[in-house]
Amino acid sequence: MTKIKRDKKPTKTIIRGGGRKSPGLGPGFMLLFLLCGIFGMIMYFDSVPGIVFSRILVYSAAAGCCAAYVFLYYRDPVYFYTVAVAAVLICIMAAAREYELILAQLKYAADLFSASQAADPPSVTLLALTTIPIVTLILFMLEAVAKSRSAMLVITAAMLLAAPVLGSGSSAALLLTAASACAFLAAQPERRGAASSSGIRQTRAGVICVILAAASLISALAVMPNIDRLSDLTYSAEGRIFREIAMRTGRTTDFVQGGSISRFNNYQTDREQLIVQITRAPDEAIYLKGFVGGDYDRGEWTAADDTAILNDIQEKYQNNWGVLGISNTYSSLYFTMNMNTADDTIPPPGSMAVRYISSEGKNYYVPYYSRVETIYVFGGYRFQYYEKGDMKINWNNVPPVFERKRDQCLNLQEAYIEEASRVYTRVPQNQLPRLRELCQNESFETLSEVTDFIKNTLDERTEYTLTPGWSPLNGDVIEDFLFGRGRGYCVHYASAAALMYRMFGFPARYVTGYMIEPEDFERQRYGTYNAVLKDKNSHAWVEIFLRDYGWTPVDLTPISETPDEVYPGYSEPEKDDNDGGYGLNISLIPKARGDEDGGEENLDEAESAKEKGSEINDYTVYNRMESPIRVFAGMILVGALIALAVLLVLNLLRRRKRADCRTEFARLLRALSTSGIMSGYDGTEPDFCEKLREALPDIDVGAMRGVLGTVSEAAYGPAPISAEENMRARKILRAAADKARKAMPLHKKILFEIKEILI
C-alpha cells in the first residue's frame, strides 16, 4: 500500500469584508478612519473642564480595540463576532464588579454637564475603560458592517452643537471626527447603478481628509493672533448659557461643592452625605467648611488661595521657613496656641472623624480651631479641635519652652492680617451699584457697628425661604436678593454679608459646608457621638478674621434665633489694634534645629507636615487613579483567555467540518497512537485493517480497506475523488476515531483533545 501522507498546508481562502462580495475599504484605510473617529471623540471629552482620566490607558485601550476589530473582521467574521461578544461581556463584568464606583463616576460626569466642576475633579478612568470597547464596537459595526452613510456625521454634528454647553474647546477633536465622517461617507458605494471601485472610493476619501486638514490649518493661522480673546469670549458665553439653563431647569448640584450662587430654588433630597463622630457632646453648633470664596464675580465666588498670601509674607519679610513651613504653622496656629496656653479652664481638645457617604470626597471639610490628626485613604479623616467657647489664647501665659514658637505665631498673625486686609476686602463695586450706594451712605468705626448694620439690613429687606423663585438673568443675583425679590436662603445671606463686610473694609470670606446643631448628635454605646449629615445640613455663612481666633464663622441666616454673641467680642467694647504688648519684629525666622527651646519641636512639626502631605497625595491619587483598574485589567486578562479558548474550539470545529478524508485518516492514526491501541502504525501495514478490528471489534474490515484506497487515491491519484466518496470515507474514519477516543483513559482523552485543538 502506498504510504499515506497528510498535506500539512491546506490552501485557505480569505474572504474580505466579513464575507461581503461588494468591494469596500481595505483594512488599512478602515483602521485609519476608525482611529480618527475614536481618538477625536476621546480628545473631545478630554477637553471638557473637569473630565480627568489616564490618557495612556484610555488611548491604548481605544487603539487596541480598533486594531483587534478591524483585523478580525477582515480575517474572519466568526472571530470578529466572538471577540466582540467577549469584549462586551468583559465590560459588563467590570461594571458589575465595581458598579458603585462606576455609578459615582457616571454621576459626577452627568453633574459636570449640568453644573460647575469640582475643585479637585476625580478620575473617570474606570468609566472610560468600560465604555471604550463598546463605543468602538458600535461605531465599527455602523460604519464597516452596516455601512451607514450618516452615523459618523450625526456624531460629529452632535459634538459640534454640544461644545458650547460642555465647555469643550478642542478643535483638533472636531477635525478628527469630521475627517472620519467625511472619509466614511466618501468611501461608501453609490446607491444608484454599479458600485464604484474600491480604489476610487479610497482616493476620494483621502482627498476629503486632505481638504479638511488644509482648511483647518488656514483657519488656525487666521484665528491664532486673537486666540486668547476669542477663547475668553467663547468660554464666557458658554459658561453663562450653561449655568443659566442648569439653574432654570433646577438641576443644580449641591452648592457646598463650589461658589456658584444659585438663582433657583433649593430642593432638598434628604440624601445622606457625611458621618461625623466626636468624642464629647458639643455645647454649640459645629461648622465644617469645605469651599472658601475669595473673589466675587457676577454670582460666582472663586476659591480663596491663602498660598498666595503666605508667598507674599515669605517674599516681603525674606524669612527662611519656606512656604510649606509657614502654611503648616498657620493652618493650626490658633489650635496650637490655645493648647499651649497655661489655663486650667481650657479643656483638652476633642477628636472629630469625618467620613464620606455619598459626596465622593469632592470637598475637604475642616472644623474651625483645629489641627489635622490623621488622613487616611478610605473613608475620610480625623481632626483635633476646640469649640469656639474653649478658645482662650493668652500670649503672655505660655510655658518657657514655647516662647520662641509663641513669638513666631504672633508675628505670623500680624503679617497675615496685613495681607488679608488687602486681599479679602476686594469687591467688584461696578457690578453692585445699589449695594455700593447703600454702604457709602453709612459711616461706622467698629466691627460691631458694621455687624449690626448688616443684620438690620438683612432683617428689613429680605425673607428666608428655600423656594425664592427665579432670579432675573440680566442682573446680579445678590442685588436682586437685596433690592428686588428680597427672598433667598443661606447662600444669598452669606454672600450679601461677606460683600458688605468688605465694603466697610473688614476682611471677610464666603464659606459653604455643613452646620451641625448639638441636637443632631446621638450618643453611641462606646461614649462617642455621631451625626449623619444630609443635604439639609448643607449651609453657607460668612467668616471674618479676629485676632486670637483667626477666621471665625458668622452666621446671619435667619434659620434659627441668632445668638446674642454673634462672634467672640461682639458685645464687648472694641479694642484698638495692638500686638498684645509685644514689640513686633516680623522676621518669621525659626531657630536652628539644634536650639534648645524649640528645635526639636520644629523638627517634629516638619515631619508631621511631610507625613500629612504624603497622605494627602495618596488620597488624591486614589481619586484620580482608582485601584479597581487593576481588577478591570484582571478581567481583561481572564476574558482574553476565555476568548482564546473559544476561538481555538471554534477553529477545531471548523476544521472538522471542512476536513477531507485524508485529514480524518490522520486524526484516526493520532487517536490510535494516543490510546496505545496501535502505537507505531501509519496505515501502510498489510495487517492494519485486521489489527484495527482486533482493537475495535465493531470495525468493518472490508469497508475500511475501501476507505484506505479512497484516501490513497485522494492523496496521489491523478484526479480528485468525488464528493460522495469523500463523504463516505470521512464518515467511516470519523466513527473509527471516535471509538478509539472512547476507549482512552480520562487523562489520555484530555491530552488528545488538547492536541487536536492546537494542531
**What is the structure's pLDDT at 495?**
95
Where is pLDDT greater, at 22 or 104?
Answer: 104
The grid coordinates listed for 127 are 468609566
Where is pLDDT greater, at 484 or 284?
Answer: 284
Distance from CA of residue 726 to its chain's centroid? 61
What long-range pairs does 23-26 form, CB within 8 A, spacing at least 24?
23/189, 23/195, 23/197, 23/198, 23/201, 24/144, 24/147, 24/187, 24/198, 25/144, 25/187, 25/198, 25/201, 25/202, 25/205, 26/198, 26/202
Tell me which of 197-201, 298-302, 504-508 is least confident: 197-201
Question: What mean pLDDT do residues 372-389 have?
Answer: 81
Contact 278, 352 (CB under 8 A): yes
pTM of the model: 0.49
Q: Cα–Cα distance between 612 and 501 in angstroms, integer? A: 34
**What is the structure's pLDDT at 424?**
95
Where is pLDDT greater, at 90 or 399?
Answer: 399
Question: What mean pLDDT do residues 151-167 have?
Answer: 67
**What is the structure's pLDDT at 588?**
53
Q: Which tens digit of pLDDT belongs to each residue from 618-675?
A: 333 334 444 555 555 555 556 566 666 666 666 666 666 667 787 878 888 888 887 7
Q: Cα–Cα distance between 415 and 20 in angstroms, integer? A: 78
Question: What mean pLDDT do residues 300-320 have?
Answer: 81
Tell me which of 349-358, 529-538, 740-749 is least confident: 740-749
The grid coordinates listed for 174 are 472636531
SS3 (DSSP) at 493: helix
Assess whether pLDDT exceeds 50 at residue 196: no
Please report the DSSP string for 280-342 in residue order: S--SS-EEEEEEEEEEEETTEEEEP-HHHHHHHHHHHHT-SSHHHHHHHHHHTHHHHHHHTS-
Q: Cα–Cα distance between 624 and 54 in angstroms, integer? A: 8
Question: Where do the domains of the chain lie?
Answer: 17-235, 257-426+508-556+573-622, 659-758
Assess whether pLDDT exceeds 70 at residue 445: yes
Ranges assigned E (strand) in 526-636: 529-534, 538-546, 550-554
**What is the structure's pLDDT at 545?**
95
Q: Which tens digit of pLDDT belongs to each residue from 688-717?
A: 888 888 788 877 777 888 888 888 877 777
Taking alpha carbons only, the member of 545, 578, 566 closest to residue 306 is 545
